[in-house]
Structure 1
């Protein structure tokens, strides 16, 4: 399995050679805890998410990716923002793809299911916002989570 390496505002980052629409979902449970995953490809914590497949909507991709990575069924309830900063690129070493960030951050409500590991996750946990702030994660993911936690009244477009 290849690794994922995130670069942000790094002059030595490889040049992007693809742009793939993706989705992340911030999911809260009834206790106000956020659903977090620890990725197997870089050992960082993140919100569940991934690429949007041809033939599915943004919301369908969010539901599918959350279920695949966490075992939790969700209902999409809102939008935090769109993140397409060309200074953030993601290098996938398995095929030398270097993606420019293009991620849509959705809000989801947990419906059913129990946290379950997948090939992409080494941990799946419900965590309070204070614990989330202390996790090891890529800077771009931290920005997204902070936008959610700050409860903007409008979608963020970066």
Structure 2
């Protein structure tokens, strides 16, 4: 039996004291997203998330609590020599800013604080919009969702756990 291969990632909904949400604009796609990314070998989820948020936005955060677990079970051809992108498992956390200064990176073209009610005006990717809505709807139960992003976004399973 071949060992399964998954990408593990974490996303952070960073909300400041003014009720604004941290968004970053991805350089490659031009899309606005909440910060996060892949966990590196030997790194735990929360440390990976703190690192990714800082790398993408310059903001230092403290991880508060888990709000969602997502499986993107679509497999598709990658870019930059990657043959096939495997299933992704993503964990979304609420985070509080504790320092740093807004900046950009090799991956991000912009970073900014956005009023909570304006975020969906900026986010176009269906999966990111769905995960942000789960953040808005959070009531103490963790959202679990299985979806695909290609050839088009579709939710295969959605439930609270």
TM-score by length of 2: 0.81
Q: Aligned partners of 1:101, 1:90: CA distance in 2, in Å?
A: 11
Which blocks of at least 5 consecutive residues in structure 1 are unaligned?
Answer: 1-16
Give 1:131 deviation, angstroms.
Answer: 1.6
Alignment match, 1:133: 120
Alignment match, 2:69: 82
Higher relative contact order (CA 8 A, sep 6+): 1
Give 1:85 deviation, angstroms.
Answer: 3.5
Change (3 A) 1:136 1:148: closer
**Residue-by-residue CA offset, 1:14-41 (whole Å, 9 max, x unaligned):** xxx9521011111001101000001012
1:122 equivalent in alignment to 2:109: yes
Q: Aligned partners of 2:126, 2:88: CA distance in 1, in Å?
A: 12
> Of 134, 137, 140, which residue of structure 2 is paired with 1:153?
140
Greater shift, 57-66 or 135-144, is seen at 135-144
SS in 2 for 1:37: strand
Give 1:101 deviation, angstroms.
Answer: 2.8
1:23 equivalent in alignment to 2:10: yes
Q: Aligned partners of 1:82, 1:101: CA distance in 2, in Å?
A: 11
Q: Aligned partners of 1:145, 1:92: CA distance in 2, in Å?
A: 25
Give 1:90 deviation, angstroms.
Answer: 6.3
Change (3 A) 1:18 1:92: farther
> Of 78, 94, 98, which residue of structure 2 is paired with 1:92?
78
Retained in 2: the 8 A contact 1:18–1:98? no
Q: Which has the higher strand share?
A: 2
SS in 2 for 1:61: helix
Which blocks of at least 5 consecutive residues in structure 2 are unaligned?
Answer: 146-161
